[in-house]
Amino acid sequence: MTLIDLQNSTVLVTGGSRGIGEAIARTLHQAGASILLHYSQGEAGANQIAADLGHERVYLVQADLAVPGAASALWQKALAQGGAINAVVNNAATMPAAAITDPWDSWSAAWQDTLQVNLVAMADLCREAICHFQSQGGGTLVNLASRAAFRGDGPEFMAYAASKGGVIGLTRSIAKGFAQDGVRAYAIAPGFVRTDRIEQVMAERGAEYVTRDIPMGAPAEPQDIANLVAFLVAGLAPHATGATFDVNGASYFH
């Protein structure tokens, strides 16, 4: 991490109270960044992270991204707390199951919620960030997609895979459309990552359920994602803008 110096940088991290988002927030903070840590329901986790980091250069911002328009309000709150924002890490996501045999109301609600949180809210935040970045000579967007964007997911998680496919198209379009403004946009597409949710899946279904198609034999650690985010936010690979980075233990290449 000696190459990574994020002093004088302010980064908004969505879904930062646990899992991958928590690892990203802690890693960027360790590299010197001020962190605008967004959470939805995870207030206790967000407060614990702030306490662990000594409340220095950490600002908590709550918003329920399932609510249309909440992302724009989140941006305004974040801007008021942090002043100029140099980068946004769009990590927040949801993954409700929706089988085709479910009642239509359940099916529709799962699709609406998934697309709203995983794609529409992300697009809203990107829109706000791009306008802000244009006014200050540039900035960085790192959007969390998924291996599912390319290889699909289980039939009950079609909405999730579709939303993550949208993240790829969104990121590439931003990279092409705003490169001349100094805006850099990257996507990261993890496979299984050892979060609490995946640990629970492994406990319930057996580790083999997760590891059987991963040549490295284990899910990625959240730190893998966090290190890559820090590298990209630090501006060390500007010409990689628009690229998607696979982090899946060699289980899939798009």
CA pair distance 215, 71, nearest whole angstrom:
38
Q: What is the mean pLDDT of residues 2-20?
A: 93
Residue 18 has pLDDT above 80, yes or no: yes
* pLDDT for the residue 196: 78
What pLDDT was estimated at residue 50? 96
* Digit-coded pLDDT (tens) for 27-67: 999 999 999 999 999 999 999 999 999 989 999 999 999 99
Is residue 2's pLDDT more than 70? no
Q: Report, at the CATH architecture level, how domain 10-247 is classified.
A: 3-Layer(aba) Sandwich (3.40)
HEC string of 161-204? HHHHHHHHHHHHHHHHHHHHHCEEEEEEEECCECCHHHHHHHHH
Q: Where are the domains of the chain?
A: 10-247
pLDDT at 30: 96
Strand partners, 60: 37
CA atoms within 13 A on the CB side of 12: 34
Q: One of 59, 160, 186, 209 is an active-site residue; which one?
A: 160
* Confidence at residue 1, expressed as pLDDT on a 0 to 100 scale: 43
| Contact between 198 and 221 (Cβ < 8 Å) | no
Q: Which residue has the higher pLDDT, 87 or 207?
A: 87
Provide the β-strand partners of residue 13.
37, 89
Please tell me the predicted confidence (pLDDT) of residue 55. 84
pLDDT tens digit sequence for 140-180: 999 999 999 999 999 999 999 999 999 999 999 999 999 99
CA distances from 163 to 18, 120, 148, 197 (A): 21, 9, 9, 19
For the beta carbon of residue 104, count every other beta carbon within 10 angstroms.
7
- Tens digits of residue pLDDT in 106-146: 999 999 999 999 999 999 999 999 999 999 999 999 999 99
Using an 8 Å Cβ cutoff, are 41 and 65 in contact?
no
Residue 38, SS3? strand
* C-alpha of 112 from chain center: 19
The rounded distance, in Å, linking the Cα atoms of 130 and 184 is 10
For residue 166, which of 143, 184, 182, 183 has the smallest C-alpha distance? 143
Amino acid code (one letter) for 213: D
Q: Please tell me the chain's helix, strand, coil percentages from 3-state DSSP, rounded to the nearest 5.
A: 50, 15, 35
C-alpha 31/C-alpha 4 separation (Å) is 6
3: Cβ contacts below 8 Å, ≥ 6 apart: 231, 234, 236
For 217-245, how does the pLDDT look when each residue is reduced to its tens digit (9 = 90+)?
A: 988 899 999 999 999 999 999 999 999 99
pLDDT of residue 253: 87
Asked if 39 is an active-site residue, the reply is no
